[in-house]
Structure 1
Amino acid sequence: MKNSSRQELKEAAKNHKTTMGVLSVKNTINGQRYIEGSLNLESLVNRIKFLLNSRQFTQQQLQNDWIQYGEQAFTFETLQVIPIQENRFTNYRQEVAKAEKAAIAQYNAPQELYND
C-alpha cells in the first residue's frame, strides 16, 4: 500500500464523525418495529444485520420474522439524530436513552413493537 493512500485513509478515519440517535427496523409485511438507540448508528445497523443473518438476535419474534420473510421485507430508518453539542459535559448515553424511550412511547399498542 502506498504511503500517500495510507495517510489519506488515516486522515479520513480521523475525520469521520459517528451519528448518534435512534434506529427503527420496520417489518414492511406486518408493520411491527424494533427500536434501539446507539452512540453509533452505522455500527448498530451492521450489528443487527449480522446477528439476524447469523440467527443470533436476542428478540426471538423479530428473528423468526426475519427468517420467514427475509431481509428484503425489512427497512432500517433513523428516527432521530442526536446532535453533537458544544458542551463537553453532555452525557450522550443519557441523551440516546431518553430519545429511545420517547420513540418507543410513540407507539400505543404493544403489538406494534418487537421491543419487550
Structure 2
Amino acid sequence: MDRARRKKLVQAYKLALPPMGIFAIRNLVTGRMLIDQSNHVTGTLNRHRTELKLGTHRNRALMDDWRMHGETAFAFEVLETIDERPEPDFDYRGELERRLAIWRTQLPTGSPASYL
C-alpha cells in the first residue's frame, strides 16, 4: 500500500465516529442481563470485561455471579448500533436514550432478570 493511500485511510479512521449503540452482558446460566447504552460500544464492553476479570466491577450482583459462574458463563453482545448521520446537529445521545428505553421495556430495571 502506498503512503498516500495509507495516510488517507488513517485520516478517515480518525474522523469516523466510534460505534454507538445498545449492549448487553448476558449470564448464560441464569439468563440475567445488564442492558445499557454507550457512545463507544466496543470500548465499553472491553471496560466491563476488564473490570469483571479484575474483580472491580461496580455492579455487585453481576460481579458476584461472575465469581460464581466464571467468565465462560457470560456473553457480551451488541444489540443495536446507531449509524452515523449526515445531519451535523443529530442528537445521538437522545437517540441512544430512546432506543435504550425500548430495550428496557422488554427487560425492565428492577426485574429479577435484570442486573439493574
Pick the TM interval, shorter chain: 0.7 to 0.9
Q: Any unmatched runs of 5+ in structure 2?
A: none
Q: Any unmatched runs of 5+ in structure 1?
A: none
Structure 1 residues 84 and 9, CA gap change in structure 2 (3 angstroms) = closer
Structure 1 residues 9 and 82, CA gap change in structure 2 (3 angstroms) = closer
Equivalent residue letter for 2:107: Y
Once superposed, which parts of structure 1, at least 4 consecutive aligned residues long, lie more than 2 Å away? 6-17
Equivalent residue letter for 2:102: A
Give matches, 1:1-116, under 5 Å: 10-11=10-11, 13-14=13-14, 17-107=17-107, 110-115=111-116
Contact 2:17 2:84 in 1 (8 A): no
Report sequence identity in percent: 26
Structure 1 residues 9 and 46, CA gap change in structure 2 (3 angstroms) = farther
Following superposition, the deviation at residue 100 of structure 1 comes to 1.4
Distance in 2 (CA, whole Å) between partners of 1:38 and 1:11 is 24
Contact 2:19 2:82 in 1 (8 A): yes
Secondary structure in 1 aligned to 2:48? helix
- Alignment TM-score, normalising by the size of structure 1: 0.83
Distance in 2 (CA, whole Å) between partners of 1:8 and 1:56 is 40
- Alignment TM-score, normalising by the size of structure 2: 0.83
RMSD over aligned CA atoms reads 2.3
Secondary structure in 2 aligned to 1:24? strand
Deviations 1:59-91 (A, max 9, x none): 100010011111110011111111211111111
Secondary structure in 1 aligned to 2:104? helix
Following superposition, the deviation at residue 107 of structure 1 comes to 2.0
Deviations 1:11-66 (A, max 9, x none): 47426552110001100000000011001111011110111111111110001001
Equivalent residue letter for 1:53: K
Distance in 2 (CA, whole Å) between partners of 1:31 and 1:70 is 14
Structure 1 residues 16 and 86, CA gap change in structure 2 (3 angstroms) = closer
